[in-house]
Amino acid sequence: MTTRTRTSDRASNRRARDRARDCNAGRVGLHPARATAAHAPGSVQRVAAAAGLLLLLAARAGADGPLRLADVVQAARQQSPQLEAARLRAKAAATLPAQVSTWEDPVISHEAWNFPDNFDIGRADNNIIKLSQKIPFPGKRTTAGEVAARSADVAARDADTVERDVVAAVERAYADLWRAHEELAVMRRQRALAERVAHLSEERYATNQAAQADVLRTHVEVTHMTNLEQAGELAIDAARAELNTLLGRGPTEPLGVPERAPVVHLPPTPDALVERALAARPEVAGQAAAIAREETSLKLARLAYLPDLEVSASRFLNSGQHDGFGAMLAVSVPIVHKARYDAGVGEVEARLAAERAERRRLEDRIRSEVTQAFLRLRTAHLQHQLLESTHVPQAEQALSVTETAYRSGNLDVLALLDSLRALEAVHLEHVQAGADMAKAAADLERAVGGEL
């Protein structure tokens, strides 16, 4: 069994060398679709910046150096397909005000009256060439443009919201990748400790101080740790794939080893963070724009009671008679269908009331999100501190004492293996607490609407 363990070690080392060689080969690059998009007008600088960020990530990965969270977040802001789609939707919405605030196109028409059976239009009694234009009541088109502008503001704030969502998702995926690397390090350390225990049991068995069952149990533990180490490598691959997907990259693209997230120092209460969130969250600004849009829509709905005009000028070409000109002025009569416009005003008033109620609901939700994220971060921070200052040292000391007692024959191997597994559990719990702390910080930044 010892021989198989060493074979596994050689296989693990070979896989590590292969990954390092792949990283040094610089396999990170733009996807073909992004390379094509780089030739689109106005996108060269953006793609160049994104490519620079990817090259930075690739350089860090190739050197097997630390992967900085700030670099990853910046790359996500440049490369995230979800964020790019939201920004393009906002860009499309920004073009609407110019469209709806413009009058309808003028119309040029030709009429021929009483032409002969041979369809000779030149011999018609009257040929009329007319130019007509519909003129909305003053203020209608301007107000419609204001409504569209408020809708564009809502779309822009939606894009900001998507950006915050993407950043939070990237930070959480980064924490998962860090946790996977740290857990793998724990497994490797535990395997080394298990091998040391196995070697100790072999020495005691060689001097008839331990039973053969002790040797078998310790080698089973070595095999168990080896399997967990291999599973840890797969967990890193899965976490890397998730983070790469959020960055708009291929799932197998190399990434460096994440740095540990900095500890966030929180105020004693979340009140200041709640006030900051109510002022900084893009959803609040978007809801204010939605209310302004409905207020302007109400103004537009009331303008619908006013008549629109249509004017036209005509040139008459009369066969056998004098030619002449004509003019026409038409006025719509909205009062005939007043009930329809009353319903339109009622609809907008209901939408306006709904948006105001939505603002109150949004503010309540923000207060709850900030408070809950604050408490989760404080809980994770306290748990992480407790594990780091108390549980981990105690577990390390317990293993040392138990190993000494087993070496002197005062304790059986099962107690030693229990101490080894207890140390593994405490280290894994410590790593999990660190990841929970980083995720809670990401959630709190998302709830506040900016960096802490």
How many residues can be counted in the chain?
A: 452
Q: How many CB atoms lie within 10 A of CB 441?
A: 26
Let me know how many helices (H) and strands (E) the chain has, helices first: 13, 6
Q: Which residues contact 309 (CB under 8 A, 6 or more apart)?
A: 134, 135, 136, 137, 329, 330, 331, 332
pLDDT score of 125: 83
Full-model pTM: 0.77
pLDDT score of 361: 96
- CB-count burial class (<10 Å; 0-12, 13-18, 19+) for 150: buried
CA-CA-CA-CA torsion for 419, 420, 421, 425, nearest 10 degrees? 90
Each residue's pLDDT tens digit in the chain (452 positions)? 333 333 344 444 444 444 444 434 333 333 333 333 333 444 444 544 444 455 445 444 444 578 999 999 999 999 899 999 999 999 999 999 999 999 999 999 988 887 777 777 777 788 889 999 999 999 999 999 999 999 999 999 999 999 999 999 999 999 999 999 999 999 999 999 999 999 999 988 898 888 889 899 999 999 999 999 999 999 999 999 999 999 988 999 998 899 887 777 888 889 999 999 999 999 999 999 999 999 999 999 999 999 999 999 998 888 778 888 999 999 999 989 999 999 999 999 999 999 999 999 999 999 999 999 999 999 999 999 999 999 999 999 999 999 899 888 888 889 999 999 999 999 999 999 999 999 999 999 999 998 87
Classify residue 263 by its DSSP letter. Answer: P
- For residue 11, what are its two tokens? 């296989």
Integer angstrom CA distances of residue 273 from 127, 157, 249, 412, 449 = 75, 20, 34, 55, 10
- CB-count burial class (<10 Å; 0-12, 13-18, 19+) for 61: buried
Q: Which residues contact 128 (CB under 8 A, 6 or more apart)?
A: 110, 111, 112, 113, 314, 315, 316, 317, 326
Q: How many CB atoms lie within 10 A of CB 390?
A: 11
pLDDT score of 57: 52
Q: What is the pLDDT of residues 349-391, one digit of tens each?
A: 999 999 999 999 999 999 999 999 999 999 999 999 999 999 9
- For residue 114, what are its two tokens? 């009483």
For residue 440, which of 389, 372, 357, 362 has the smallest C-alpha distance?
372
pLDDT score of 445: 93
